Amino acid sequence: MDLWIGTSWKMNKTLDQARDWTRDVLAALAPGGTLADLPEHIHPFVIPSFTATALVHGLLGEDSRMALGVQNAHWEDAGAWTGEVSVPQAKDAGARIVEIGHSERREHFGETVETTALKVRAALRHGLTPLLCVGEPDAVKAAGESAAYIVEQAEGALAGLDEAELSRVLIAYEPIWAIGESGRPARMEELVEPFAALATRYPNQLRGLLYGGSVNLDNARDILSVPHVSGLFVGRTAWNSAGYIELLRLAAGAQEDSAASID
């Protein structure tokens, strides 16, 4: 099974810090590095701030093993949209992934189901991979409605896509109560129903279903063993290169574990 292991840096890192992180990870992936034998089914990706996109792309090079993304993009290709960046601009800077609908953007920047739908279409139109984030607040979880809530977010953003388009979409389930400094790591049993609900709604139709929210070196492997989880989307733990490299190593090991248990 393909595993997507990526990080968004959110609003962090100077150009020097971006360069250091990228060089460290590239060195690990290079022949002789600790990740030189990273299995083919592991897909690493990094989503820097816009200011570092072109720099990181330059370091990674064309056709890099590591895919590059942006944290947001506008749905129009160009025009009078002060402060925004378009999908063609992101693509020009080397991006292959467009993150869409992170809860921080929904909460602070007016992202709606309608705008996520427009942005998913814009990414697909230009051949980029949409990484759609869905996730419920605490109150919805307390009401026992997590699965219905995130399926509705996904259905809104993906409405009207055909099979070929759906097969290019990544979804990251990121419960708001688990994200960031004030979040708490999820217990594995809390992830079972949300992932089952997404997998049932889109049976083998999507490119992958990732988990994000307080992923760390202690819980990463367990999360990857939850049914239907095919990746990790990580903030704080991956902001230092050693943490990210270790997550990739754990992901490679997780697959070996499940192969061993099948034997």
Q: Residue numbers of the site for ligand PGA (CB under 6 A)?
A: 8, 174, 179-180, 183, 212-215, 233-236
* Shortest spacing between CB 69 and ligand PGA, in angstroms: 12
Position with the least CB separation from ligand PGA = 235
Active-site hit among 102, 104, 228, 246: 102
Active-site hit among 104, 174, 228, 246: 174
Residue 40 a catalytic site member: no
**Cα separation, 31 vs 34, whole angstroms:** 9
* Shortest spacing between CB 10 and ligand PGA, in angstroms: 7
Residue 174 a catalytic site member: yes
* Shortest spacing between CB 232 and ligand PGA, in angstroms: 9
The residue (of 95 and 161) whose beta carbon lies closer to ligand PGA is 95
The residue (of 19 and 236) whose beta carbon lies closer to ligand PGA is 236
Task: Compute, in degrees rounded to 10, the torsion defined by CA atoms 29, 188, 99, 197.
Answer: 130
* Shortest spacing between CB 240 and ligand PGA, in angstroms: 12
The residue (of 107 and 114) whose beta carbon lies closer to ligand PGA is 107
The residue (of 12 and 205) whose beta carbon lies closer to ligand PGA is 12
The residue (of 44 and 212) whose beta carbon lies closer to ligand PGA is 212
* Shortest spacing between CB 81 and ligand PGA, in angstroms: 25
Which residues are catalytically annotated? 102, 174
